[in-house]
Amino acid sequence: ALALQQFLLILPFLLARQHLANGGAQKDLMLALMIGGLVYSVPMLIEIRLSPQLNNWIYGYYQHFFGQSIRAGGFRPVVFLYHGLWVAFFAMTAAVSAFALWRNDKSHNISLLLAAAYLSVVLVLAKSLGALIFAVALVPCVVLLGTVMQIRVAILIGALAVAYPVLKGADLVPQDKLLAQAAAIDPERAASLEFRFDNENTLLERAYLKPVFGWGSWGRNHILDPNTGNILTVTDGRWIILIGIYGWVGYLAEFGLLLLPLLLLWREAVAMREDVVSPFIAPLSLILAVNIFDMLPNATLTPLTWLVVGALTGYAEVLKSQRLKQADTDALKWQSIL
C-alpha cells in the first residue's frame, strides 16, 4: 500500500517531466496557475464573507477544524482543500505567477498587472501570515532579479529548508528568537509556533530511535498514550512526518528530489547563454523553493508541487541535452579546422 501511495504521489512529477519539459510549457504552467488563482478567488471571497461552508454544503462535511479558520475577527477560506494554509499558499503562487508573466511580457500588458494586484489583495484577505511573507519576499525577486540570480536565491532557500532537520537536531535553530519575533507580530501565532516546536522536539527524539528507515506507518512515529493508545503528538511539518515514518532515507529521497531541479537548472543556466534559457524557470524555481521551505511548519506537498518539480527537472534535462549536443558540434568543427 505504501509503495502504491508513493507512486501515485509522484505521478504528476513523471507526467510533467515528460510533457512539460520545454520552455513554452513553463510559460503555460505559470499562466495556468494565474488563471486557476483567478477562478479559485471567487469561492475564496465567498468563504471570506460567509465563513468556510462550501465543502459542507456540497459534500456534507467540514474537512478540518472550523476554529482554525477564524482569524482577525473574520474567516480565512478553505474551499475544497485540506486547510486554509493550502488555499493561501495557492493564492500566493498565483499572485507570483501573475507578476512573473507581467515582468516577462514584452508589452508589459496592464491586464497582467491588474490580475497580479487583484490576487495580492485576495492573498491578504486569506489571512495567512506565512503565505503573505513569502509573497513579500518573492515578488521583488521576480520583478527585479535576473534568471540566474533568482535560481541562486531559490537554491539558498531550498538548501536551508533541507538542512533544517540537521540544524534542529544540533540545536542550531534559534527557537527562542523566532518565538519572540512571532510574539511581536501576533501572540496567537507565537503560541501556534511554540506548539509546533514542542511537538517537533518530541517527535524528533522518537525518530532518532529508528533513524535510518523510520517507524513505518499506522501512527508508530507518534507518542501514544500507554493506557488508551490515543495519539498524543501532532505532526504538522512534512519533514517530521517523513523522518518519523521513512527515516533519513525517506526524507533525503523526497526532499532531495524536490531540490534536485534547482541545482540542475543553476548548472545549465550558468553554462548556457541567458537568452537561450526560458525566463519562466526562475519564478517557478522560487515558487518551488518556498514550497519546500513551507513544508517545515506545514505539510503543503500537493500535486501542484510535483507538477512544478517535474516541469523543471524535464526542462533541465532538455537544456543538458542541448548543451552536450552543441559541445559535440563545436568539437567536430574544431577537428575539421585542425
* DSSP letter for each residue of 38-103: HHHHHHHHHHHHH-S-HHHHHHSS-SS-GGGGEETTEE---TTSS-HHHHHHHHHHHHHHHHHHHH
Structure-derived torsion over alpha carbons of residues 9, 15, 17, 22, reported in degrees to the nearest 10: -140
The rounded radius of gyration (Å) of the Cα atoms in the chain is 22
| pLDDT score for 184 | 82
* Amino acid in position 216: G
- Cα distance between residue 263 and residue 157, in whole Å: 12
Contact 52, 67 (CB under 8 A): no
What parts of the chain have a pLDDT lower than 70? Answer: 273-275, 330, 338
| pLDDT score for 275 | 66
- Cα distance between residue 26 and residue 95, in whole Å: 16
**Residue range 231-272, pLDDT digits in tens:** 888 888 899 999 999 999 999 999 999 999 999 988 888 877
| pLDDT score for 200 | 87
Answer positive or negative: Cα dihedral of 135, 81, 191, 166: negative
| pLDDT score for 270 | 80
Run of H or E including 221: none
Per-residue cell: 100: 512573473
Ranges of each domain in the chain: 2-327
| pLDDT score for 192 | 79
- Residues recorded for the chain: 338
